[in-house]
Amino acid sequence: LQQGNQSIDYLLINYDPRMNYRAAIEEFPPEIWRETMEKTLVQTFSLIKMVWPQMQRQHFGRILFLVSLGFVR
């Protein structure tokens, strides 16, 4: 992000926890779990960290999380 007269009012994080890989916990590969955590937690943290300073400067900002539960049976 470049500084200037830009305003960041909202950060929308649309999280869909459906994974293409399904297995019992004892069969679930650690590398797939790490990749899932990278895509969800680490990237989300990075986005928030990127916009947070601007939201603080403008004394306003909203971070919205949308989570799909469509995978629940």
Quickly list DSSP for the chain: ---SS----EEEEEE----S----GGG--HHHHHHHHIIIIIHHHHHHHHHHHHHHHTT--EEEEEE--TT--
> Is pLDDT larger for residue 68 or for residue 9?
9
Question: How far is the C-alpha of 53 from the C-alpha of 47, rounded, in Å?
Answer: 11
Mean pLDDT for 22-38 is 85
Residue 19: what pLDDT? Answer: 61
pTM of the model: 0.68
Q: Measure the CA angle with vertex 39, ends 33 and 44; round to 5°.
A: 130
Least Cα distance to 58 among 6, 17, 21 occurs for 6
| pLDDT surpassing 90 at residue 73 | no
How sure is the predictor about 52, in pLDDT bands with cuts at 50, 70 and 90? very high
46 confidence band (pLDDT: 50, 70, 90): very high
